[in-house]
Amino acid sequence: MSDEESEQRGQRTSDVPVDLTRERETFVRQFLRKGVELTETVLEENKTLHDKLNAAQREIAMLRAQVASDDAIRDLLKKIESLETERNKLLEKSTELEETTRQKETRNVEVEQELHDLANLYIASSHLHSTLSVRGVVKHLKELLQQLVGAEIYAIYLMDGDGTAAKPLACDGVELSALSPVVKGEGVVGEVMMTGIPKVSERWDEGGTLEAPLAAVPIMVRDQAVGVIAVATVFEQKERWAAVDHELFKLLGSHAATALIAANLYADADGALVALSGVAGHLTQPPSS
Amino acid sequence: MADFSCLVVEDSPMMRQLLVFALARIKKIAVTEAEDGVDALRKLANTRFDLVVTDINMPIMDGLKLVKRIRSDETHKDVPIIIITTEGSTEDRQRAMALGANAYITKPIQAPQVIAKVKELLKL
């Protein structure tokens, strides 16, 4: 600024009236004060807003966490539901499998029993026909009755020549000499001999005797009874007839005579070859009635 | 090759065959047969058995004498013994068990019962 301008400015300042200067100063002070107040207000509001912002952010974070937790709970609940459904299905399957296993075990027991019964029949039959000795056949008959049926007192009767009575052939639990012949048609045993129909009692409470046996089984050749097996008593541990006993009685009825006849005829033959002579001839002859 | 060997002592061929059939249902067992107590002792002297199944009423040496002899034999004193017999009274059973038998089964036998008892004694 040149000296002239400075001089003019100084001259202008001294020309401004004192009131205006004071007014100007007052205004500037007021302006500055108001500015400070405004600034303080703004700063305060800023702080308040800042605090509110922080609070809001904290709340958002909390809400987010809660939502996430709710989602997790929802997921867990869904998972639990799905696992419970799976568990119920598995329990159902397990019950079905248990039932199938139980049925299989029951069937297994039945099959084992059937196998045992068949073994009894096979062994009885094969032993009966395994010998051509009369003593051997009778021994096997007795073994079959005692060991497989459980007969304690029994007698085997065979029809005599004229077919009117049966004489005792073998027995157990009683002396053979103490037994009398059985007349066809007389008494339980005689009736069985006449009819060819076995009598097997399921009632054991009164016990049995050789006259009224627990079982009377006719020994058959074709349709003719040629003898009887009478079972008076069984071993005390035997509580009832088993299914296999009825089958053994049938086997005895149909095979005992055959085995005895074969052994009896062989006893008179002079060896196997003699016994077999004439076999081919029988095949060329017409069958007998 | 079987895991266990069993000696069946029975004078009745029919019963012996039935017992062998029953034991054959158990896959891991090899069966040797003896006709009476003396025959059984002969076989026991030559072979180590894991189980003995014996009748009581046998000629020459009965089953109870056989059990006594087995229990005094160092090799077989602990071998399980099953008695299979027609004698069904409680006294007979008690006598056999007192001599050292492990099980007592009466005739006529049921194969499933014999099999179950063998499996129990051999822990199969």
Residue A159 is assigned to a structural domain of this protein: yes
In chain A, what is the greatest distance between 2 CA atoms, to the nearest angstrom?
187
Same structural domain, A137 and A246: yes
Q: B25 vs A109: CB contact, 8 Å cut-off?
A: no
Q: Each residue of A250-267: pLDDT tens digit? A: 999 999 999 999 999 898
Same-domain check for residues A143 and A222: yes
| Mean per-residue pLDDT of chain A | 90
Calculate mean pLDDT across residues B68-77: 92
Q: Find chain B residues with C-beta within 8 A of A152's C-beta.
A: 86
Cβ B23 vs Cβ B51: under 8 Å = no
- Coil, strand, or helix at residue A124? helix
Among A284, A269, A219, which Cα is nearest to A249's?
Answer: A219
Q: ipTM exceeding 0.85?
A: yes
High-pLDDT (> 70) share of chain B, %: 99
Task: Give the C-alpha separation, A116 to A113, whole Å.
Answer: 5
Instruction: Examine residue A281 and state whether it is found in any structural domain, yes or no.
Output: no
- Terminal alpha carbon distance of chain A: 169
Q: Looking at the domain assignment, is residue A80 inside a domain?
A: yes
Looking at the structure, tell me whether residues A92 and A164 fall in a common domain.
no
Task: Classify residue A61: in a domain, yes or no.
Answer: yes
Partners of residue B110 in chain A, C-beta under 8 Å: 113, 116
Tokens linked to A12: 């202008």
CB contact under 8 A, A235 and B107: yes
Residue A106 falls inside a structural domain: no
Instruction: Please check whether residue A121 lies inside any domain of the structure.
Output: no
Q: Which helix (H) or strand (E) holds B53?
A: strand B51-54
Q: Is the pLDDT of residue A3 over 80?
A: no
Q: Is residue A273 part of a domain?
A: no
Say yes or no: A218 and A167 in one domain. yes
Task: Say whether both A88 and A216 belong to one domain.
Answer: no
Q: pLDDT grade, residue A279 (50/70/90)?
A: confident
CATH classification of the domain holding A232 = 3.30.450.40
Residues A139 and A260 grouped into a single domain = yes
pTM comes to 0.76
Alpha helices in A129-177 (DSSP H): 134-143
Task: Give CA–CA dist A17/A151, Å, rounded.
Answer: 158
- Type and span of the H or E element at B96: helix B90-99
Q: Does A141 fall in a domain?
A: yes
Express each pLDDT in B1-55 by its tens digit: 679 999 999 999 999 999 999 999 998 899 999 999 999 999 999 999 999 999 9
For residue B4, give the H/E element and its range. strand B4-9
Q: How many domains does chain A have?
A: 2
Q: Are A94 and A102 in contact (CB under 8 A)?
A: no
Matching residue, tokens 């004489």:
A167
Here the tokens at position A238 are: 């035997």
pLDDT at residue A289, as a whole number: 55
Domain that holds residue A90: 1-96
State how far residue B13 is from chain A, nearest Cα, in angstroms. Answer: 8
Residue of A nearest to B20 (CA): A119
Of 3.30.70.120, 1.10.3720.10, 3.40.50.2300, 3.90.76.10, which CATH number belongs to B4-121?
A: 3.40.50.2300
Check A120 against B106: CB less than 8 A apart: no
